[in-house]
Amino acid sequence: MGTFDIIMIGVTIAFFALIPLVLRWSHRKRDGAAAEVRELLGEDNILLCDTSALFDGVASEGMLQTRGNGCLALTKAGLLFVWWHSREKIQIPVSHLRGVERVPSRRNGVTGRELIRIHTRDGAGADDTVSFYVEKVAAWVAVIERLIHAEDATTRGLEADEEREALPQEAPAEDGVLW
C-alpha cells in the first residue's frame, strides 16, 4: 500500500466521521428556526408548518437572491418563513395573498418535484410571486386558497365568520405537516 492509498483512506475516514456532526448541526439549526416560529406565532395559531421548507425565491428579485432551507408556517394572519441559518424572515400578511398554485420545478430545464407559487400584492399594489418547496403541496394549496377566499369575503364587506371557522384548526394528518 502506497502513500497515496494511505492518504485516501484517511480522507475517507475523516469524511464519513464528519457526516454525523454536520447532520446534528443542521438539525439544531432546523429545530431552532421551528422554535422561533412557534414562539413568534403561538403554536395554537399555526394551521400548517413545514420545518424543512425550501425558499425558492421571489420573482421580482431575479436570479441573484438568497434561497435556502427554513421553517414555513401558515396562520389565519398570513405566512412566515424563517431561514434555518440566518434567522432572516419573510412575512406575508393574508391581505397580500392573491392566489396559490402548484407548479413543477424547472431548475436548469429539468422538471423536479412540485412547489407552491404564491401570488401576492404589496401595499403599493405591485404584484409578485414567491415560491416554496414543501411537503404535502396539496394541503398547503387548499388551506391558502381557503384563507384567500375568507379574506376576500371580509374585504368585500361580507360576513366571513363561517368561512374562517371552516379553516382547519390544525393540518389533517394525511394532508398536512404539523410539528
DSSP 7-33: HHHHHHHHHHHHHHHHHHHHHHHHHHH
Cα–Cα distance measured from residue 16 to residue 21, given in angstroms and rounded to the nearest whole number: 10
Per-residue pLDDT, 167: 53
**Of the candidates 159, 140, 145, which has an alpha carbon nearest to the alpha carbon of residue 46?**
140
DSSP 143: H
Cell digits of residue 81: 418563513
Cα–Cα distance measured from residue 78 to residue 92, given in angstroms and rounded to the nearest whole number: 6
The answer to whether 8 touches 153, Cβ cutoff 8 Å, is no
The answer to whether 59 touches 115, Cβ cutoff 8 Å, is no
Q: Which domains does the chain have, with CATH numbers?
A: 3-165 (2.30.29.30)
CA-based Rg of the chain, rounded to a whole angstrom?
20
Sequence-distant (6+) residues with CB within 8 A of 126 are 60
Cα–Cα distance measured from residue 78 to residue 94, given in angstroms and rounded to the nearest whole number: 4
pTM for this entry: 0.73
Strands 78-83 and 68-75: antiparallel
Beta bridge partners of 107: 110
Query: How would you write the pLDDT of the chain (179 residues) with one tens digit per residue?
Result: 788 888 888 888 878 878 877 777 777 777 888 888 888 888 889 999 999 899 988 888 877 787 888 999 999 999 999 988 888 898 999 989 999 999 887 665 555 778 899 999 877 888 999 999 998 999 999 999 999 888 776 665 555 455 555 555 444 433 333 32
SS3 116: strand
Cα–Cα distance measured from residue 155 to residue 11, given in angstroms and rounded to the nearest whole number: 62
Cα–Cα distance measured from residue 164 to residue 4, given in angstroms and rounded to the nearest whole number: 67
Cα–Cα distance measured from residue 46 to residue 76, given in angstroms and rounded to the nearest whole number: 8
